[in-house]
Chains A and B, each alone.
Chain A
Amino acid sequence: MIRLKDVEKYYSNKFVKTWVLRNIDMEVKEGDFVTIMGPSGAGKSTLLHILGMLDDMSGGEYYFLDEPVHQLNERKRTGFHQQYIGFVFQAYHLIDELTVYENLETPLLYKKVKTSERKSLIAETLDRFNIVAKKDLFPNQLSGGQQQLVAVARALIINPKLILADEPTGNLNSKQGLEIMDMLKALNDEGTTIIQVTHDEKKAAYGDRIIHLLDGYIDKIDERN
């Protein structure tokens, strides 16, 4: 599903190139649950953003479903977002000005889903995540765990093939964290590909492969099965 070949990323100002990622080769198959680990500044989030097409690469090749992402234009990439990719962030990143219902609706609007279908999808999702009662509240009226729940719900509503999760439980207490992880695991079991970034060994254990990053290089890969 995903193939990276010699991907690199650097920031340059006039005199210095600052390397963030170098020589990244990796492959992710459909249905994988991959964890990216590493110390601060190792390039974990940058890699995730490149995978999610939120950030440009400085060099290398990236194939998503055999399409060369490094050659695609903005429109095509947005198309991939709309169809295949859901994001979950540590800081939830819900739109503060929108209610829970409207936050869930946003990706569907951008995907141009018809009104009736949209309504039923949202209703279904609210039900599934047990947040029907919260649908008219704004994010700042919810607890952190509830906000992350909504964020996950929003990532899932388009039924993505790939979920990118950047420390999804980082801001949550352990009980809430476990709930979210269980949910991701359940999704993975249903066939959704998941790539997560985490510091936490316990959370990392949910994946079937762990990629360790160090100073921008892939240090080692742990296969768990």
Chain B
Amino acid sequence: MFINYLKIALRNIARNKIISFINISGLTIGLVCFFMIALYVYDELTYDRFFKDSDRIYRIVHENIEEGGAATLLTTPGPLAPVLNKDFPQVEKAVRIWQNLDLVVKNSNQIQYYAQDKHIYADPGLFNVFHIPFLFGNPETALKSPNGVIITDKIARLFFKTENVVGKVLVINKEDYEVTGVIRSLSHHTHLPQFEFITSIEPVEERYHFNSWLQGVGVYTYVKLAMNVNVETFQSRILDIADQYVEDELDNRGMTQKYFLQPITDIHLHPNYVKESGIHSKTAGLVLFSAIAFLVLFIASINFINSSLSLAFFRIKEISIRKTNGANRTQLVSQFVTESIVISVIAVCLALVFIYLLTPWFNEIIGKELNHSTLPVSSVLFFMSGVVLCVGFFTGIFPALLIFSFRPAQAIKGIPLTNININNQGIQRLSLRKILVIVQFVITSVFIVALLVIFQQINYMKNKDLGFEKEQILVFPVQTVEMCRSVKDNLDRVKQEFTRHHTVQSITTHLRSPGRMTHQNDVFVYRDGEKRKYWINMQFLDSDFLQTYKIPILAGADFTKNNMTQYILNEAASREFGFHTPDQAIGNHMSIFDWDGEIVGVTKNFHFWSLHYSIEPMVFIRTDHFFPEAVSLKLNTKDLRETMTFIENTFKALFPDQPFEYYFLDEDFNRLYKADVRFAFIILLFTGTAIFIACLGLFGLSLLTIQRKIKEIGIRKVLGSSIPGIIYMLIKEYSLWMITASVISWPIAWYVMRKWLLNFAYRIDIELWMFVLAGAMTLVIALLTVTWQAVRAATANPVEALRYE
């Protein structure tokens, strides 16, 4: 029986070539999209799960509450991990990790390697928490020696051309280290930094105050809990853990510290701190993508249902004969369902081939390393067959149900198929197909509106006046301690050297450039004889900063060129500190650490951070105490190459041992919108796909409906209708469908896109023209699809159509 169904199915596919092509290609494209997104979602959901026992590993974050506000920090005070290891049997191992940003590595062969973010300090327990396999060396002892370094295979090959390099020596930041272990480069599928070097944390404990509960920058703390530990109980034990050790000191400072466990498998999707480094996708995005995946597949399935429904009209005779030969309902349903499952299977196989071919390209777009080879085969098969069965079943069941609703006698009497009255439900059936097509185009139209809104918003963000000039600013990060000293000690000379060239207008040193992470700290403000504390964003800089970035001053003046510590606020900070007008702020004193100084000016607000965020209070501090992390040059040139040559030469002369690395601020700033641009691109991709599939379906549908009207067209032409008249008759209906679809899509698109825009503190308004344009696009695309068919039918010789009737 099944073989018979299969045979019929394959013959039908071969017989209706165009429709089969439309069905299979539409479904294939839909499935490719669906599986790609499924792969992406799966990837996002499984971050850090490759670590052994990942369900028992937690990062500890802490909240610091004091007068002036609370701050959630991803780090904890240094003593936490040792205390957990010593006093808590629930903890299998706790480990501290700290990232070193300055890294210059050399070896005796004079090979050099500079990198930021590639070096971590860690406790020896690192490998008890994170199971990272060693290629060479012993994980138990590798971090015990203060001068031991663990490197990745990549670094080993770079320096030594081989991997087994245990015992060899590397010079890291001018100190000799002995390689004690070689590991494989870490997978990108983790929130951990992509480190290449690991050394012991002990030598830097003093420097970074890792032994203090109250001082210092803090350290990342990870714990692996013992088996069967109740996480909630443990969480409640550590919530106030600091009180057990330093309660008095905390009380004296009016501080409270709360500690929280964060499962590492959650970190990727739920970064609890907005400005945490790294690109973090959010759950909402995943839900949205999943919804898109289902919608695209849904559109493809609708095609399939629609063409099967239309084809069913042509098969009424076949089905009638089968009924008179004794087919019962189940048998007929099985036949239809088998046919659509066969098509689904073909589509899935093709989709798999395409996925295989397209994954590298898709990876490039979304900036990931999706890899299907790591997926568990059984669940993939399960998933695939689930999709096949669902799609097959739902697309098969509709035509089957249609078929049931008529009595075979009519078809057998030889009534023309077009006139068959299916239990008086013919009209309603037609409207089912109409509804399906409209639904398809509603979805497509929503996509188009979304696309317009997204592109407008991105355009707006890239072009909005940020309150400072980001064009023609070249920044080079100060990467090493050595260079930092050199810049700080020879600041005047550095500035003179660079400004010798006429295209370099000004130069300034500061912490991080706009768009990069800002520094936050406590400041004290003296106002009306009172000392108040605020937790605030700050930027250390020299007196040329405002001028270089062309930030306008509202009140007071720019920094004066002396050695005094001076403060300039932005408007938001001035308001935060309680000054009613910018002028009131001028002349007051404030301090950070022990550096007391006068507020000399207030600037207009400007966007230090992307337009996702509203403008926050910010304090500029001019002081001799800070260590610059970046140097910015304002250029004014048409001949960039010549200027660059000059800058590079000057750089090499000033800092002979340092790597010349730089970026342009506008490009760097636009990096903040990378996720949005990527999102827009993915939407563009799916919009294109959705339009294509929907048009494919419309094409098939018009092919079939117009075929059924061939006789009517013939009669009309014999009666004297003109060709344009017939074309108009044929496409009029489709135009109405498209207009209906657009109108229905508008409120949906408006609602969805308004939600999306809420992600941005500064956003465009959704305007009427976007809807109208989207509607017009939908209409034009759809009519282009249909008109070809209509023209063909209208220009055919009517005698052909009528001869056989």
Contacts and interface: CB of A to CB of B under 8 A. Distances in A.
A81 B322 CA distance: 11
B321 A75 contact: no
Interface residues of A, number: 32
Nearest to A48: B409
A205 interface: no
Nearest to A74: B329
Most buried by A among B331, B407, B412: B412
Contact of A93 (B7, B11, B407, B412): B412
Interface stretch (A24-32, A100-108, A172-180): A100-108
Nearest to B321: A93
A110 interface: yes
Nearest to B325: A107
B238 to A, nearest CB: 67
B317 interface: yes
A91 B414 contact: yes
B409 A110 contact: no
A70 B321 CA distance: 22
A75 B328 contact: yes
B329 A154 contact: no
Contacts, number: 74
A95 B322 contact: yes
Contact of A87 (B8, B12, B324, B407): B324
B708 interface: no
Interface residues of B, number: 26
Given A45-B413, A95-B318, A54 B407 contact: yes
B625 interface: no
Contacts of B409: 45-46, 49, 54-55
Most buried by A among B4, B323, B324, B328: B324
B416 interface: no
A56 B405 CA distance: 13
A54 B412 contact: yes
A111 B328 CA distance: 9
A89 interface: yes
A52 interface: yes
A79 B326 CA distance: 7
A158 B324 CA distance: 12
A55 to B, nearest CB: 4
Interface in B326-357: 326-329, 331
Interface string B9-52: 00110010000000000000000000000000000000000000
B325 A54 contact: no
Contacts of B324: 52, 54, 81, 87, 93
Q: Which applies to chain B's interface (DSSP): helix, strand, loop or mixed?
A: helix
Interface in B351-408: 407-408
A95 B321 CA distance: 7
A109 B1 contact: yes
Given A55-B407, A109-B1, A82 B321 contact: no
A110 B322 contact: yes
Contacts of A75: 328-329
A17 to B, nearest CB: 15
A94 B326 contact: no
A106 B318 contact: no
Give the one of A75, A89, A109, A154 with max B CB within 10 A: A109
B630 to A, nearest CB: 74
Interface string A164-192: 00000000000000000000000000000
Contact of A56 (B11, B407, B413): B407
Contacts of A46: 409
Could you say which of B318, B325, B328, B329 has the most chain A C-beta atoms within 10 Å of its C-beta?
B325
Contacts of B318: 95-97
B12 A97 contact: yes
Interface in B74-96: none
A65 to B, nearest CB: 16
Given A54-B408, A93-B317, A74 B322 contact: no
A159 interface: no
A58 interface: no
Contacts of B407: 49, 54-56
Interface string A39-76: 00000011001001011100000000000000000110
Interface in A90-131: 91, 93-98, 102, 105-107, 109-112
Contacts of B1: 109, 112
Given A54-B323, A81-B324, A93-B321, A102 B12 contact: no
B11 A74 contact: no
Contact of B4 (A56, A94, A109): A109
A146 interface: no
A186 B322 CA distance: 26
Contacts of A56: 407
Contacts of A109: 1, 4
A153 to B, nearest CB: 12
A18 to B, nearest CB: 13
Contact of B326 (A81, A91, A96): A81
B417 to A, nearest CB: 13
B8 A97 contact: yes
Given A54-B408, A91-B414, A78 B326 contact: yes
Nearest to A52: B324
Top 7 A-B pairs, shortest CB-CB distance: A82-B326, A78-B328, A49-B409, A81-B326, A55-B409, A107-B325, A110-B326
Interface of B: 1, 4, 7-8, 11-12, 15, 317-318, 320-329, 331, 407-409, 412-414
Given A81-B325, A93-B317, 12 more contacts: A54-B323, A54-B409, A55-B409, A81-B323, A81-B326, A93-B324, A93-B412, A97-B318, A98-B8, A110-B325, A110-B331, A154-B325
